[in-house]
Amino acid sequence: MEPMIRRAEARDVPRMLELVRELAIFEKEPDAVTVTGEAMLEDGFGKRPVWFGWVAEDGTGLVGMALCYDRYSTWKGRCLYLEDIVVTASARGRGIGERLFRRCVQHGVEQGYQWMRWQVLDWNTDAIRFYRRLGAEVSAGWLNGDMSAVQMRNFAAR
């Protein structure tokens, strides 16, 4: 059965979180996922949603997802940020990732975003090859800066 790509709904959050955990294992960070299903539900479908996305569904259930949010660049304007595309291991090789990516790009065009950005680990050669095959640039040179909630509270208290 050809997977259907549709907008994510609140009922999808439990399976989406499972896919996020699967991705974390693949990225060698199995203990890094701390978001709860309740938080993810509220953040996507509550009073002030901050993320939106699409899911790929076949006869077995959800086999993939793409999660995005708005970002702003002082240099370029509105940006669509693609946080994650995840396709479960058993469903890879069927074009699902490309269809999810295409849906994100279409959304960006429809909404008038000036650009789209995402991150890919430098060791994930399959993902880098995937994005380049689709016509995207994968650049080096920018480093991520991170501060945990504890670090933020400590800094703010100074």
Q: DSSP characters for the chain?
A: -PPEEEE--GGGHHHHHHHHHHHHHHTT-TT-----HHHHHHHHHSSS---EEEEEEETTEEEEEEEEEEEEETTTEEEEEEEEEEE-GGGTTSSHHHHHHHHHHHHHHHHT-SEEE----TT-HHHHHHHHHTT-------------HHHHHHHHT-
Instruction: Tell me which amino acid residue 124 is.
Output: N
Catalytic residues: 131
Burial environment of residue 53 by CB neighbours within 10 A (0 to 12, 13 to 18, 19 or more): buried
